[in-house]
Amino acid sequence: MKGIILAGGKGSRLYPSTMATSKQLLPVYDKPLIYYPLSTMMLAGVRDILLICNPEQINQFHTLLGNGSAFGISINYAVQSEPDGIPNAFMIGQHFLGDEDALLVLGDNIVFGSGLRELLQTSIKNNPGCTIFTQHVADPQQFGVLALDDDGTPNHIEEKPRYPKSNLAITGIYAFANDAIKLCKDLKPSARGETEIVDLINVYLKQQRLNHINLGRGFAWFDTGTSSALLGASQFVETIETRQGQKVSCPEEIAFFNGWLDLHQLKQIIKEMPASHYSEYLSSMVISFEKVKNFKYHGSGERDVYLVNC
């Protein structure tokens, strides 16, 4: 499976902060917003990623992320000149995807919770055609909403309904089979002139190829399209990191524990970083890891030993 991160859009709800930059480059506490969906991709085990952004910001993204080698992954870039809707990502990325399936993550979404790695990887492995992730919210009118039958089977999906039939909001993480490319070509623009992701999902629903994963109370999900949501996400990350002493969505750390960077590579990457709390965190992680790397825990590898000791 390959990955697509959709980081386009004008960020008009965050004006004037987005006049000169993309909202995905704005900070969420101690790191750029784009690090969070990128980390979601990496936790899902996806290493080959296409980042779609506005033409004005492509150089900024490349300066920040490069080709992805610092994270043990490969990042390609493409532009979305006009806001043509989320399904347009498949049109832009069809040559990149080839005959591979796709994990699509919106660039302004943050998901955090224990067991997220296993949940994502299992869902991808068992994807029947389209897998969506939902969470119970207090204001479903602001999102795409999934309605369920009495037995819990997905019944219908509606975009920002005036009278929602449930409180299950669809998050910005989607797994699609490769035929999504073909299906997107048949979608008609909505009244706002864009193709809608809910229309594509409903096609899979009609074909009985839709899988629904509800993120329970143990997960936090942020759609950071507004200033208040961006602030709330920053406060959440600050609270978690300060109390636990562990970073939320640190791509270098994820790459290391995925086995995509070895210890020598990680040390070299840290060496090239300027002095900061971020580089200090990674340095302390390396020191802690080296203290336990020769200790075996029931036959586990060094990385597992470190996680147990954390």
Angstrom distance (rounded) from CA 157 to CA 145: 6
Beta bridge partners of 170: 134
Angstrom distance (rounded) from CA 144 to CA 170: 5
Angstrom distance (rounded) from CA 132 to CA 123: 9
- Percentage of residues of the chain with pLDDT beyond 90: 77
Angle CA(205)–CA(206)–CA(208) in degrees, nearest 5? Answer: 65
Cα of 179 vs its chain's centroid, Å: 21
Angstrom distance (rounded) from CA 115 to CA 257: 15
Under 8 Å between Cβ of 106 and 219: no
The structural domains of the chain, with segments of one domain joined by +, span 2-242, 262-309
Average pLDDT of span 290-301: 56
How do residues 117-135 score in pLDDT, each as one tens digit?
A: 999 999 999 999 999 999 9
3-class DSSP state for residue 306?
helix
pLDDT of residue 172: 95
Angstrom distance (rounded) from CA 40 to CA 181: 22
In terms of Cβ atoms closer than 10 Å to its own Cβ (0-12, 13-18, 19+), residue 107 is buried
Q: Which is nearest to 171 in space by CA: 155, 157, 185?
A: 157
Tokens 């965050």 sit on residue: 14
Phi (first) and psi of residue 309, to 5 degrees: -70, -30
Q: Is the pLDDT of residue 309 over 50?
A: no
Q: Is the pLDDT of residue 299 over 50?
A: no
Average pLDDT of span 247-263: 94
Q: Is the peptide bond before 16 cis (omega within 30 degrees of 0)?
A: yes
Assigned fold of 2-242 = Spore Coat Polysaccharide Biosynthesis Protein SpsA; Chain A (3.90.550)
How do residues 147-206 score in pLDDT, each as one tens digit?
A: 998 888 888 898 888 999 999 999 999 999 999 999 999 999 888 888 999 999 999 999
In terms of Cβ atoms closer than 10 Å to its own Cβ (0-12, 13-18, 19+), residue 69 is middle
Tokens 């706002």 sit on residue: 192
Is the pTM here over 0.85, yes or no? yes
